[in-house]
Amino acid sequence: MTAAPLPRRSSLPAAWWGMSILIASEGMLFGCLIATYFYLRFKNPAWPPDGIPAPRLVVPLVLTACLATTSAPMQLALAAVRAGRVATARLFLVAALVVQCGYFAYEVHDFHDQLGKVDITRDAYSSIYYTLLGADHGHVFLGILFNLWLLGKLARGLTRYRANATLAITWYWHFVNVLTIVVVGTLLSARA
Partner 1 sequence: MAVAAPPSTAAAERLDRLERMWRSRPGLLGWLTTTDHKRIGLLYFWTTLVFFGAGGVEALVMRTQLAQPNERLVGPSTYDQLFSMHGITMIFLFIIPMTTGAFGNYLIPLMIGARDMAFPRVNALSYWIFVSSGIFMYVALFMGTAPNAGWFDYVPLASRQFDPGRNIDFYCLGIIFNSLASTLTAGLFIVTILKSRAPGMSLNRLPLFCFAMFAAAIGLLFALPALSVDTIFLFLDRNVGTHFFDVAHGGTALLWQNLFWFFGHPEVYILIVPAFGIATSIIPAFTQRKMVAFPLVAVAELLVVFIGFGVWAHHMFATGLPTVALVFFAGASALVVIPSTIQVFSWLMSFVTGSARFNTPLLFIAGFIFMFVTGGLTGIMFVAVPFDQQVTDTYFVIAHFHYIIFGAAVFPIFGGMYYWFPKITGRMYFERPGQISFWTIFVGTNLLFFPMHILGLLGMTRREYTYPAGLGWGPYNLAETIGAFLTTAGILLLFGNLVASYLRGEPAGADPWHGPTLEWTTTSPPPDYNYVVIPKVTSAYPNWDAADREEDRRKLRDGVLVLEQGHEQVEVTPADGWLSEIVEMPHSSPWPPLLALSLALVFTMLLIEKFEIAGIMGILCLLTLLGWHSTEPQEA
CB of 33 to partner 1, least distance (A): 6
44 is a contact residue toward partner 1 (CB under 8 A): yes
Q: Which range in 22-30, 107-115, 166-174, 175-183 contacts partner 1 by CB under 8 A?
A: 22-30
User: Can you tell me the distance from the alpha carbon of 153 to that of 37, in angstroms, rounded to the nearest whole number?
Assistant: 39
From the CB of 66, what's the least distance to partner 1, in Å? 26
DSSP string, the chain: -PPPPPP------HHHHHHHHHHHHHHHHHHHHHHHHHHHHHH-SSSSPTTSPPPPSHHHHHHHHHHHHTHHHHHHHHHHHHTT-HHHHHHHHHHHHHHHHHHHHHHHHHHHHHHHHS-TTS-HHHHHHHHHHHHHHHHHHHHHHHHHHHHHHHTT---HHHHHHHHHHHHHHHHHHHHHHHHHHHHHGGG-
* Residue 54 contacts partner 1 per CB under 8 A: no
Q: Considering beta carbons, is residue 145 or 192 the nearer one to partner 1?
A: 145
Check residue 1 for interaction with partner 1 (CB under 8 A). yes
- Binding to partner 1 (CB under 8 A) within 112-151 occurs at 120-128, 131, 145, 149
Candidates 110, 111, 100; CA nearest to 172 is 100
CA distance 146 to 137: 14
Residue 22 or 68 having the CB closest to partner 1? 22
Identify the residue among 17, 57, 72, 185 touching partner 1 (CB under 8 A): 17
Q: Select from 24-32, 77-85, 107-115, 183-191 the region that touches partner 1 (CB under 8 A).
A: 24-32
Of the two residues 113 and 160, which places its CB atom closer to partner 1 in the complex?
A: 160
Least distance CB 168 / partner 1 (angstroms): 12
Q: Provide, rounded to whole angstroms, the least separation between the CB of residue 46 and partner 1.
A: 9
